[in-house]
Structure 1
Amino acid sequence: MWRELTASPVFGVVLTLGAYQLTVAIARRARGRAIANPILWSVVLIVALLLLTGTPVEEYARGGDIVAFFLGPATVALALPLHRQLDRIKEALAPILAASVLGASAAVLVGVWVTGALGGSAEVIASMAPKSATTPVALAISDSVGGIPSLTAALVILTGVLGAVAGPGLLTLLRIRNEISRGLAMGISGHGIATARALTESQTAGAFSALAMALSAVITPAVVAAVLPLLL
């Protein structure tokens, strides 16, 4: 009976949405504490259930891919809060571009340096380099520079979750309260997952996080292409 259930694409859809709704309810009871991030615990719940039941990830993916399809339209929808902040973007265009270039470069350089310092192989370093870019961009970069796309995908998700969970608290600890600055920092370092978290803080933070995510997707390939040949 379980095999018949998991064979249907409905299984992946129901499991994904059910896990997310459950963790959202828990997060509300936790009063928005970062550690109760719904995406983090949705991943934990889904992985735990698949392991406990011995369900192959391919069976889950039949439905999970349907949910993932809507990632594209959701990303495009971020244009709305961006449009509402257009005047502020024009006013601060130079600082935004400078912060994005420096932030995306730092994300690549730190990832490459730490991985190399810990003894990572050239293949692992190449997989780590694009970790702060959004998933489709990171996978394309990883494949083109000799990385392992599946490892890159895991690192991208881990980076986003860590950015969403630890980012707001760290920025507050550093006394960074400006909504534009917070949004840019989260979008550059944690791409879409951190952008979703930024949107819960304010529309302004979410809009600038989305902008930083888009700029990072453009800047990261250039930085990786320039840096990796010098280090590997």
Structure 2
Amino acid sequence: MTWLLDQPLTWLFATLLAYRGGCWLRDRTGRHPLAQPVLVAVLVLGALLLLTGTDLDVFDDGTAAISFLLGPATVALAVPLHRQLHRLRGYAVPLVTSIVVGSVVSMTSAWGLVTLLGGSERLAWTMTPKATTAAVSIPLSETVGGVPALTAALTILAGILGAVAGPTVLTWLRVRDARARGLAVGAASHGIGTARVLGDDEVTGAFSGLSMGLTAVVTSLLLPVLALVLGGGA
């Protein structure tokens, strides 16, 4: 049994099976907000790793192929956006404005909240880039003096929370426009949230993918400036 658990392919199979189980649960519950495949997979795999005492390096080796495919999968989000390009007419200025304002609010509120609650400066900078996709948030965290591993966990958590609660909150707030809903989800919960709304509506998913990419770019440009102003940096 120990030999089997130490094989990288075991965890590749377990990851795919856990995600597929999450998809099955989502469909069986009528797409309940809590039945998000990523959330289900995280809970199942986390429990398995704890119960078996498997080294995380073994898990990382086994899921390296999935991690590699995240890049092409992110680029592929441009396909639904290309189909919706006609909806961008007359929307460029409010789109860019909302992304810039949203990025600034996300960074400053995260930094300010940690500082207000008495957290360390390092924890504050660890939290600050959480709204960008993990591939961006990790190097940004390292640049401004955060803890990259913790930033990765917080980024994933933000994505899961956005996927679970984002569409419902937007409905409560009476945000009906598919473009606005997509921009909000993509800016707050990046790829995980985008995958959620893309399955619900192609227009919302397309604008969420666009928002995710633009948020990463804007945050990458503004976070070093914010760190310079507030005295961050490694």
Task: Please give the TM-score of this superposition, normalised by the length of structure 1.
Answer: 0.96
Kindly indicate whether residue 214 of structure 2 is the aligned counterpart of residue 215 of structure 1.
Answer: yes
Q: Which residue of 2 aligns with 1:169?
A: 168
Partners of 1:12 and 1:89 lie apart in 2 by: 42
Q: Which residue of 1 aligns with 2:4?
A: 5
Instruction: Give the drift of 1:38.
Output: 1.2
Instruction: Give the drift of 1:127.
Output: 0.7
Instruction: Give the drift of 1:201.
Output: 1.6
Q: Which residue of 1 aligns with 2:103?
A: 104
Instruction: Give the drift of 1:227.
Output: 2.1
Q: 1:151 is matched by which residue type in structure 2?
A: L
Determine if contact 1:39/1:161 at 8 Å carries over to the other structure.
Answer: yes
The aligned length equals: 231
Q: Which residue of 1 aligns with 2:73?
A: 74
Instruction: Give the drift of 1:120.
Output: 1.2
Determine if contact 1:108/1:223 at 8 Å carries over to the other structure.
Answer: no
Q: Which residue of 2 aligns with 1:127?
A: 126
Instruction: Give the drift of 1:23.
Output: 1.3
Superposition pairs for residues 1-232 of structure 1, below 5 Å? Answer: 2-232=1-231
Instruction: Give the drift of 1:229.
Output: 3.3
State the Cα deviation string for residues 111-130 of structure 1 (Å, max 9, x = none). 11111111111111111110
Determine if contact 1:124/1:148 at 8 Å carries over to the other structure.
Answer: yes
Instruction: Give the drift of 1:157.
Output: 0.3
Partners of 1:12 and 1:31 lie apart in 2 by: 29
In structure 2, runs of 5+ residues without a counterpart are: none
Q: 1:161 is matched by which residue type in structure 2?
A: I
Q: 2:167 is matched by which residue type in structure 1?
A: P
Partners of 2:53 and 2:145 lie apart in 1 by: 32
Partners of 1:63 and 1:91 lie apart in 2 by: 46
Instruction: Give the drift of 1:204.
Output: 0.4
Partners of 2:75 and 2:223 lie apart in 1 by: 25
State the Cα deviation string for residues 117-156 of structure 1 (Å, max 9, x = none). 1111111111111000111111111111111100100010
Q: 1:17 is matched by which residue type in structure 2?
A: L
Instruction: Give the drift of 1:98.
Output: 0.7
Partners of 1:72 and 1:90 lie apart in 2 by: 28
SS in 1 for 2:206: helix
Percent of aligned pairs sharing the same letter: 42
Task: Please give the TM-score of this superposition, normalised by the length of structure 2.
Answer: 0.95
